[in-house]
Structure 1
Amino acid sequence: MRSRPALLRGFAMALLASLACAAAAADPGRVVFPASVQQGAMVIGKVPPGSEVEYAGRRLRVTPYGSVVFGLGRDAGEPAVVSVRRPDGTTATASIAVTPRDWPVERVSGVPPRTVEPPPEVAERIAREAARVREARQLDDARADFAQAFMWPVQGRISGRFGNQRIYNGKPGSPHSGMDIAAPNGTPVMAPAAGVVTLADDDLYLTGGTLLIDHGHGISSNFLHLARIDVKPGDRVEQGQVIGAVGATGRATGPHLHWGMNWFEVRIDPLLVLER
């Protein structure tokens, strides 16, 4: 049997929830965004359905129930300003504080030299492949798969963190664009949320077996260094579905899954998405 304090706490929580629902019903024009977020966050807000919403010069899609989403990059400054025009013509502005993060340096040794300082013909191939990936990230449709609570695509130790400065074989490289999860070769990889496959290629030069899944509204996941890919472009995948297997293809020193996420070209941190 629950104690009296527990019952009182439960009653208080129910009362607060009822008051919040009543407030939302009484003020259908409310615009709700988090007060602050970290660099690399996926930001979800609520606006009146039918509103026009803009952030960083881009018009955001609004779901039928009033949700919008966008991403903040590794080096985003503050504040993030969102402009809203409600269906009745009134306007609102949300100013979101951006909390800076520390970005440690990661040194990666034993990487094939041709992937660190590629010769001209290889550099041209890398540029062509990067253009294909950028194109696959431009999909902007009305699916709201991004609103699911994301799950880990594979279980394992985090061996590389989003945003950390990478030094390959002693040569500075770009900040790490995702999260590395160490796992044995061949470990099944699952879709962290539902979506549509926009790219599947088992032999990109730097990233090896590469798979992109779009979650709607510009949010996408990428899975790199795969040993096997089990889906093809255009496939609809559901959360938890096996989509491939962990490998060490491309620029990799051992088997692991690189899981990255984007809002269009803005890279966001999968770990923050898991924790939201």
Structure 2
Amino acid sequence: MTHAAAANAPVVPRGNGFSRDAFAGRNEEHRGFRRSRTMMASATRAAVLLAAAVLAHVAGAAPFPDQVSQGALVRATVNPHAKVRVAGHVLRVGPRGGIVFGVGRDEQGPVTIEVTERDGQRERIAIPVTPRDWPIERIEGVPPKTVEPPPEIAARIQREQARVVAARRRDDAREDYAQAFTWPVEGRISGRFGNQRVYVVDGKDVPKSPHSGMDIAVPQGTPVKAPAAGVVTFADPDLYLTGGTVLIDHGHGVSSNFLHLSRIDVKVGQRIAQGDVIGAAGMTGRATGPHVHWGMNWFDVRVDPLLLLEPHEP
């Protein structure tokens, strides 16, 4: 039997600079951009190796990729009758053998993959993880109560986050994740996945979680399109931190989330096609300017949408 592994290589859109501030409306570029671009190029080479890797018969040599980058979404094909585990997680295997899993931002590796054939033959592979550069972003201009919320607001945030987490833990058999993803809007990247965030409140630095997705700066009201087909699993116009929020499930635990929307045009349970308008860009919730935040998950593992895209001119 032959197993073919595939993943999308990280690419940086031509002509785009990553700003120091992860939100839209900021034009100052990172002083470390050139260093970050070099690290992204290394991650690109690593993911290309993954895309080109082909698994031999389980009983023989297994030319898995030499390495994979942090934040990657790995899509592969195995024997449809095989059982696959990644880091102890049992993967859903599609009728044609499709599988997918994510590599987290802080994953140090190696990622362990175990493939068991129907006849009991088993192969275990350990893939090293290539680290990426995560610059620190200092963000000013957001309301202090969104950074250090009072107890009643903190309780609301916890309730809202629990609803979002539940929506992205689905494991549907659909394989919409397997198609080529497209840009939800055309614009300048104003914040990138994984950067460490520090909010400045009354002159004090308040470290927060790393950026969970990619920000694209566009005017208020710009239509936001689905990057791939799927089913809407969450739609709420007024979450405290993320404002207008939509989640799209792409199957096998893969989902996209769109935050800070000024308008929502879809409903929970709605089946959508790639390119359908799901809402409009805005700056609702904790934001400093109009933009689209696009995040992606494999269950609870956050991955980098940029690694799934072809380059484009803003």
Q: What's the TM-score bracket when you normalise by the shorter of the two chains?
A: 0.7 to 0.9
Deviation digits for residues 101-137 of structure 1, max 9, x if unmatched?
0100111110011100000000000000000000001
Deviation at 1:34, TM superposition (A): 3.6
2:195 maps to what in 1?
A: 164
Deviation at 1:175, TM superposition (A): 0.4
* Among 100, 106, 109, the residue aligned to 1:78: 109
RCO (CA 8 Å, sep 6+): is it higher in 1 or 2?
Answer: 2
Specify whether residues 154 and 29 from structure 1 end up closer, same or farther in structure 2 by C-alpha distance, changes over 3 A only.
farther
What is the letter of the counterpart of residue 188 of structure 1?
A: P
Provide the rounded CA distance (Å) in 2 between the counterparts of 1:258 and 1:32: 37
2:96 maps to what in 1?
A: 65
Deviation digits for residues 34-93 of structure 1, max 9, x if unmatched?
432110000122211111111122110111111210001100012101111112211111
Provide the rounded CA distance (Å) in 2 between the counterparts of 1:33 and 1:218: 23
Which has the larger Rg?
Answer: 1
Deviation digits for residues 184-226 of structure 1, max 9, x if unmatched?
0000000000000000000000000000000000000000000
Q: How many residue pairs get matched?
A: 253
* Among 211, 217, 232, the residue aligned to 1:176: 211
What is the letter of the counterpart of residue 172 of structure 2?
A: D
* Among 160, 168, 171, the residue aligned to 1:137: 168
Provide the rounded CA distance (Å) in 2 between the counterparts of 1:89 and 1:214: 33
Structure 1 stretches (4+) deviating beyond 4 angstroms? 26-33
Provide the rounded CA distance (Å) in 1 between the counterparts of 2:175 and 2:58: 21
Residue pair 2:75, 2:98 contacting (<8 A) in 1 also: yes
Provide the rounded CA distance (Å) in 2 between the counterparts of 1:27 and 1:171: 52
Is residue 2:232 matched to residue 1:201?
no
Deviation at 1:96, TM superposition (A): 1.7
Q: Which runs of 5+ in 2 are unaligned?
A: 1-53
Specify whether residues 148 and 101 from structure 1 end up closer, same or farther in structure 2 by C-alpha distance, changes over 3 A only.
same
Secondary structure class of the residue paired with 1:101: coil
Q: What is the root-mean-square deviation of aligned Cα atoms in Å?
A: 1.9
The 5 A counterparts of 1:1-276 are: 33-169=64-200, 170-275=205-310
Provide the rounded CA distance (Å) in 2 between the counterparts of 1:27 and 1:132: 43
Specify whether residues 97 and 183 from structure 1 end up closer, same or farther in structure 2 by C-alpha distance, changes over 3 A only.
same
Residue pair 1:163, 1:175 contacting (<8 A) in 2 also: yes
Deviation at 1:32, TM superposition (A): 7.1
Residue pair 1:33, 1:45 contacting (<8 A) in 2 also: no
Secondary structure class of the residue paired with 2:161: helix
Residue pair 2:188, 2:217 contacting (<8 A) in 1 also: yes
Provide the rounded CA distance (Å) in 2 between the counterparts of 1:264 and 1:187: 28
Specify whether residues 191 and 144 from structure 1 end up closer, same or farther in structure 2 by C-alpha distance, changes over 3 A only.
same
Q: Which range is displaced more, 123-132 or 87-96? A: 87-96
Provide the rounded CA distance (Å) in 1 between the counterparts of 2:265 and 2:276: 10
Provide the rounded CA distance (Å) in 2 between the counterparts of 1:147 and 1:107: 36
What is the letter of the counterpart of residue 156 of structure 2?
A: R
Residue pair 2:265, 2:278 contacting (<8 A) in 1 also: yes
Provide the rounded CA distance (Å) in 2 between the counterparts of 1:211 and 1:187: 15
Residue pair 1:28, 1:48 contacting (<8 A) in 2 also: no
Q: Which range is displaced more, 51-60 or 190-199? A: 51-60
Residue pair 1:141, 1:218 contacting (<8 A) in 2 also: yes
What is the letter of the counterpart of residue 128 of structure 1?
A: R
Residue pair 2:232, 2:268 contacting (<8 A) in 1 also: yes
